[in-house]
Amino acid sequence: GRRTLAIIKPDAYKHADEIIYAMKKHGFVVVQERRVRLSPEQACLFYGEHLQKVFSSRLIGHLSSGPIVALCIASAHCPNTVAAWREIMGPSDVAEAAALFPNSLRAKYGNTGDQVKNALHGSHSIEDAAREIHFFFPEIIL
């Protein structure tokens, strides 16, 4: 995967410029960026895989609660952008990120009191990245 999808979630939107700066400093190139607010229906479509989970309604509620930044990013140095971005974000549990990876972006920008407010999203796999990039940027040809 030479490209992945990153999202700056509503809880971290106020730090968007700082996060994008950090992203670039870590060697990622922003291919395309879009600032949007999703409806709950659109958030549901995006998070389809999580709809069975107990926290899904809170996750959908959070993602649709305010503006987000969707970014199609590429790694300048590493051939596996999907994995490289997940590493820079750190674990999805912010408390774990803070304890084990204090320099990770989720440790810096996430909220240790609420697991849905972990600041960032990154695609899990190359296949997910393709679907998620298409969701926000249907005009991009991968």
Dist CA 62 CA 40 (whole Å): 9
Q: At residue 113, what are phi and psi to the nearest 5 degrees?
A: -85, -10
- Give me the DSSP letters along 99-129: HH-TTSHHHHHS-TT-TT--SEEE-SSHHHH
Stretch binding ligand ATP (CB under 6 A), from 14-22, 33-41, 64-72, 120-128: 120-128
Nearer to ligand ATP, 46 or 137 (CB): 46
User: One of 50, 62, 121, 134 is an active-site residue; which one?
Assistant: 121
Residues 6+ apart with CB under 8 A from 140: 31, 32, 72, 133, 134
Nearer to ligand ATP, 37 or 124 (CB): 124
Please indicate whether residue 50 is annotated as part of the active site: no
Dist CA 124 CA 1 (whole Å): 11
Near ligand ATP in 64-103, by CB under 6 A: 92
Closest separation in Å from C-beta 50 to ligand ATP:
6
Q: Find, among 129, 140, 104, 141, the residue nearest to 32 by Cα.
A: 140
Single residue of 121, 132, 133, 136 touching ligand ATP by CB under 6 A: 121
Nearer to ligand ATP, 52 or 141 (CB): 52
Residue 100-119 contact track with ligand ATP, rule CB under 6 A, x = bound: ---------------xx-x-
Catalytic residue numbers, as ranges: 121
